Amino acid sequence: MTDEARPESGLFHGWKLVGALCCILFFTAGGGLYVFPVFIGSLQQEFGWSMTQVSGTGAVFAISMGLSNPLVGGLFARFGTRKVMLVAAGMTVLTSLGYASLQNLMTLYAIAFVSGFAVAATTILPAQTLVTNWFRAFRGRAMGITMLGIGAGGLALPPFNEFLIRLVGWRMAWVVAALVVAVIVIPLIAVYVRGAPADLGLVADGRRTDPGEPTSAEDRSHATGLSLKRAATTRTFWLVISVFLLQLIAVSALNFHFVPFATQELRFAPRDAAFYYGLAVGFSIPGRLGFGWLADRWSPSRLLAFSFLLLAMGPLAIELFLRLGLSDARLLCLYAIPFGVGIGGNAVSMPILVGRCFGELHFSKIMGLLMSSFAAGILIGIPGAGAIFDRTGSYEWVLILSASGLSLALLLCLIIAPDRYREEFAGAEQPVS
């Protein structure tokens, strides 16, 4: 091993990567996935757009991100995760500046379309792929810590942007977002992101390799798994994609419309709505940590089912809130606690389940194809919820349908057998790309 290939002694680079990814996701996922609803009121006030028109932004974003995920997975395999993430982060800077200079609805949709690719290539899929490549025995814990960035960003960035909007206006708030990505996110990607342990002469979980040193098959920097074509022919794949679709329909509708629901139907102040919106996502932090620890010990399909139980409890709590005519904003904690923990558990359990079912070899391609349902899920969930509100003047049916979809996803999880195809792909191995 050359001196250049041998990493410095001390903390395993994989854990440094986890810390960097956590910070990156704080801004890219926390900002890209959770902040836009805070701007809805400002856009409606300035441009006079209806809820359906603004919700169309979510649909365009979803189509772009969903269609981009398979492309991003292929780009990772061909060009490397680091290069693709750097390009996408640069695009994020440009889209944020585009939002800041917004003048009409079609421009909003165009920016949202470009943003969909940028978010796909800097958030969930690259983080899941990198953690899957770098860890095996500690994959659950590493995934949980990495995904903390999403929860922390969802907790802090919505109220922070609501404050910025009041302080400097919604356009300057987008300029601040662009500066943060340029100054913090891009350097972190450049310094810490490496596609696989072999890039630094390491193997998964931090065991070092040296010339002539015997290693077991489990220790070598090799991956096993089903091909994309084979995975797509299995019943497990279609069960997983159905679960993912149901989750996206419900969670996207609830997340995107929570602030308008709290302000327009429950008549709470925008500050309170933004706080509890962020708090709901913030409660995913203990969910990510707890589910990450459990994922190294429990069946990922059962763990995923439990996360859906918690998610379903969220809209059911708000439905009870409505029916009882309660007017205390603090009771929104009854939504935030189970829903937030469920979001965190879901974010950790889903990629662990996919890796367990199909292996690591083609993880980015398989996960990218699964995440193509992002487009269909959000295309149904966000504008569908907006249309229900415009037609009925209430979000009650959105809550009922979301809880029903999450409950169905729970039942489907219980059918999935994570190790069904392990014997099929365990004998074949290739270097991690």
150 to each of 73, 255, 318, how far by Cα in Å?
A: 20, 14, 23
Which range of 5-19, 85-99, 278-292 scores highest in mean pLDDT? It is 85-99
| pLDDT at residue 329 greater than cutoff 80 | no
Task: Identify the pLDDT of residue 426.
Answer: 63
Q: What is the pLDDT of residues 199-245, one digit of tens each?
A: 888 888 876 554 444 444 444 446 678 888 899 999 999 999 999 99
Which whole number is the average pLDDT over 427-433? 52
Collapse the DSSP code of 361 into the 3-class scheme (helix H, G, I; strand E, B; otherwise coil) and give the result: coil
d(CA 349, CA 365): 18
- pLDDT tier for residue 85 given thresholds of 50, 70 and 90: very high
Q: Note whether 68 and 121 are within 8 A (CB).
A: yes
d(CA 225, CA 243): 21
| pLDDT at residue 430 greater than cutoff 60 | no
418 to each of 231, 281, 295, 303, how far by Cα in Å?
A: 13, 28, 12, 12
Which whole number is the average pLDDT over 184-210? 85
Q: Which helix (H) or strand (E) holds 430?
A: strand 430-431
Q: What CATH number corresponds to the domain at position 396?
A: 1.20.1250.20
- pLDDT tier for residue 354 given thresholds of 50, 70 and 90: very high
| pLDDT at residue 321 greater than cutoff 70 | yes
Q: Note whether 338 and 317 are within 8 A (CB).
A: yes
d(CA 288, CA 29): 15
2 domain residue, yes or no: no
Task: Identify the pLDDT of residue 347.
Answer: 87
- pLDDT tier for residue 169 given thresholds of 50, 70 and 90: very high
d(CA 95, CA 82): 20
209 domain residue, yes or no: no
Task: Return mean pLDDT, the chain.
Answer: 85
366 to each of 16, 97, 191, 410, 415, how far by Cα in Å?
A: 26, 33, 27, 22, 20
Task: Identify the pLDDT of residue 215.
Answer: 41
Full-model pTM: 0.78
Q: Note whether 395 and 256 are within 8 A (CB).
A: no
Six-digit token pair at 361? 């070899």
Which whole number is the average pLDDT over 426-432? 54
118 domain residue, yes or no: yes
Six-digit token pair at 184? 């913090």
d(CA 393, CA 260): 12
Q: Note whether 132 and 351 are within 8 A (CB).
A: yes
Of residues 361 and 306, the one with the higher pLDDT is: 306
Task: Identify the pLDDT of residue 207.
Answer: 64
Provide CB contacts within 8 A for 263, sequence distance 6+. Answer: 41, 269, 270, 273
Of residues 302 and 7, the one with the higher pLDDT is: 302
Q: What is the pLDDT of residues 60-83, one digit of tens each?
A: 887 888 889 889 988 988 898 999
431 domain residue, yes or no: no
> Side-chain half-sphere of 98: how many Cα atoms within 13 Å?
18
| pLDDT at residue 6 greater than cutoff 70 | no
330 domain residue, yes or no: yes
| pLDDT at residue 381 greater than cutoff 70 | yes
Six-digit token pair at 192? 């810490």
Task: Identify the pLDDT of residue 317.
Answer: 85
210 domain residue, yes or no: no
| pLDDT at residue 410 greater than cutoff 80 | yes
Q: Note whether 131 and 142 are within 8 A (CB).
A: yes
The tokens 């590493």 sit on which residue?
142
| pLDDT at residue 182 greater than cutoff 60 | yes
Q: What is the pLDDT of residues 92-144, one digit of tens each?
A: 999 999 999 999 999 999 999 999 999 999 999 999 999 988 998 889 999 99
91 domain residue, yes or no: yes
156 domain residue, yes or no: yes
- DSSP readout, 120-177? HTTSHHHHHHHHHHH-STTHHHHHHHHHHHHHHHHHHHHHHHHHHHHHH-HHHHHHHH
| pLDDT at residue 428 greater than cutoff 60 | no
Count up the domains in the chain and report the number.
1
Q: Note whether 34 and 157 are within 8 A (CB).
A: yes
d(CA 249, CA 382): 8
Label residue 83 exposed, middle or buried (CB < 10 Å: 0-12, 13-18, 19+): middle
Of residues 47 and 137, the one with the higher pLDDT is: 47
d(CA 159, CA 150): 15
> Side-chain half-sphere of 366: how many Cα atoms within 13 Å?
31
Which range of 59-73, 146-160, 163-177 scores highest in mean pLDDT? It is 163-177
Task: Identify the pLDDT of residue 105.
Answer: 94
Q: What percent of the chain has pLDDT over 70?
A: 91
Of residues 81 and 270, the one with the higher pLDDT is: 81
Q: State in Å, rounded, how far the first CA of the chain is from the last one.
A: 19
d(CA 47, CA 126): 36
Q: Which helix (H) or strand (E) holds 223?
A: strand 222-223
Q: What percent of the chain has pLDDT over 90?
A: 45
| pLDDT at residue 433 greater than cutoff 70 | no
Task: Identify the pLDDT of residue 234.
Answer: 93
Residue 225's DSSP bridge partners are 359
Q: Note whether 257 and 401 are within 8 A (CB).
A: no
What domain range is 18 assigned to?
A: 13-201+218-423
d(CA 155, CA 200): 34
Residue 372: DSSP 8-state: T
